[in-house]
Every structure is written in structure tokens, then in C-alpha cells.
Amino acid sequence: SAVISQKPSRDICQRGTSLTIQCQVDSQVTMMFWYRQQPGQSLTLIATANQGSEATYESGFVIDKFPISRPNLTFSTLTVSNMSPEDSSIYLCSGQTGFETQYFGPGTRLLVL
Amino acid sequence: AQRVTQPEKLLSVFKGAPVELKCNYSYSGSPELFWYVQYSRQRLQLLLRHISRESIKGFTADLNKGETSFHLKKPFAQEEDSAMYYCAPTPPTNAGKSTFGDGTTLTVKP
């Protein structure tokens, strides 16, 4: 199994600014993902964080808006750039082990004013 | 394209009643099948996966390859089962990305 922590747990930001969310896993995982989740809604995959290379983005998400880094097997960051109120959401990090099971972080609750 | 359908967005049952949360999928190949659960104010977590053939918290899930369904069942629902449930087929490889359904919010009434 894997235990995932995220920082910050929540933030309130002004439009036009950027926020970087950190994700730390307590053990090595094969895959790391970033999701967005509206309260009570399903998860929308933003991108797969690839170690040492550019992230793989899903349709509708671009690197300029959501730059992602993964410098090693246990750490990743997601930046939400040039924020607008539409970016208000919960951002989740997950790590996937070789048995395809995903372990999720507690989420970062973002409110953009 | 991979698709997973959870037809009920909301499901409400009384304590002690049987409950079934439906999941249908359209998937190329033979995915691994998972159910994840999110209790109020808690993180999303694995409930069960098909390959384990386990019963977790009294829940079981039967894979029907003919109907491509993986419904989650429990014979006697408890109030603590109230949560959001997600079905998630996943390619059986190291690089597989899960496809999450829209989720079903289960409410178990006293």
C-alpha cells in the first residue's frame, strides 16, 4: 500500500495568481496522477505525472495551465496557473502500485475569488 | 473508447435492506475491475477489486463478462455504508489508467 499526503489542504486565491500543490508518497509507486473533483461529483483526470519527463495530459488540459513535475518516484507537484473562479475545485493526487490499485491523497480544496 | 456507466446517481435504502450499486462498462480487452468508496470527509479509498475475490465490509461484486457489468452488492445495508461509490475499470498493465464512473451516492436511512 501507499500513503499519500498533499499540501496545502486548502487555499483561497485571487484570480490571476498561481498555486502549486505538492504530493508526497511514502513509498515508490509506478504511476502518479492528478485529478480534479467538484464536491459530490466524479473525478476528472488531468494528467499522468511522468518521472523525469513531461506529464501526459488528458483532453481539455494543457501544460501551460497545469504544469506538472515529478522529479522522483515519490513526489510530484501540480501548478494551477493564472487562476479563475472556474478553477475552484478539489485537486487530488493519486499513486498507483504495480497491482493497479490507486491510493489517493486527501485532496487540496481550492477557492478562487 | 473506454466507458463506464453507473446509472444511479443517488440511491437510498433503509438499514437492513439489500443494496445493489450498478456498474456497466465498455472496454477493449479485459480490464481489472475496482470499486472505490469515499465516506464523508474522508479520502477516496479502495473498497474491493475483482481479482481478490474478497468480501469487504460485507460488500461483494460479481463480474458478468457477457453483460460487461460489475455490480456491487450487500445483503444488509448499514448506516455507515452511506458514501459515494465509484466503479473503476483499469487496464491490467503497469501503465494502466483507471476510468472512473460518475459515482453513486448511497444513503442508508435508519
* Digit-coded pLDDT (tens) for A63-89: 999 999 999 999 999 999 999 999 999
pLDDT of residue B80: 96
Residue A16 — left, alpha, or beta (φ > 0 → left; ψ -120 to 50 → alpha)? left
Domain of residue A29, CATH code: 2.60.40.10
- Mean pLDDT throughout B94-105? 83
Cα separation values, A18 from A63, A78, A91, Å:
13, 10, 14
The C-alpha angle with vertex B31 and arms to B52 and A107, in degrees rounded to 5, equals 80
Contact B43 A106 (CB under 8 A): yes
The pLDDT of residue B94 is above 60: no
The pLDDT of residue B92 is above 80: no
Name the superfamily (CATH) of residues B3-109. Answer: Immunoglobulins (2.60.40.10)
- Mean pLDDT throughout B42-48? 92
* Mean pLDDT over the full length of chain A: 93
The pLDDT of residue B65 is above 60: yes
Question: What is the count of structural domains for chain A?
Answer: 1
Domain that holds residue A29: 4-112
Amino acid at B69: S
Other Cβ atoms within 10 Å of A74 Cβ, number: 18
pLDDT of residue B98: 84
Q: Alpha-carbon distance B100 to B77, whole Å? A: 23
pLDDT of residue B95: 62
- Mean pLDDT throughout B65-69? 84
For A43, nearest residue in chain B (alpha carbons): B100
* Mean pLDDT over the full length of chain B: 89
Residues 75-104 of B with CB under 8 A from A: 84, 86, 88, 90-98, 100-103
pLDDT of residue A76: 97
The pLDDT of residue A35 is above 80: yes
In chain A, which residues have their Cβ closer than 8 Å to the Cβ of B44? 43, 92, 94, 104
> Is the torsion defined by CA of A21, A111, A66, A41 positive or negative?
positive
The pLDDT of residue B4 is above 70: yes
Residue A4 pLDDT level (bands cut at 50, 70, 90) = very high
The pLDDT of residue B52 is above 80: no
- Smallest Cα–Cα separation from B22: which of B106, B108, B96? B106
pLDDT of residue A2: 86
Q: Find the helix or strand (DSSP H, E) in which A5 lies.
A: strand A4-7
The pLDDT of residue B28 is above 80: no
Residue B86 pLDDT level (bands cut at 50, 70, 90) = very high
Residue A96 pLDDT level (bands cut at 50, 70, 90) = confident
Amino acid at B51: I
The answer to whether B56 contacts chain A (CB < 8 Å) is no
A10-49: buried (b, 16+ CB within 10 Å) or exposed (e) per residue?
eeebeeeeebebbbbbeeebbbbbbbbbeeeebbbbbbbb
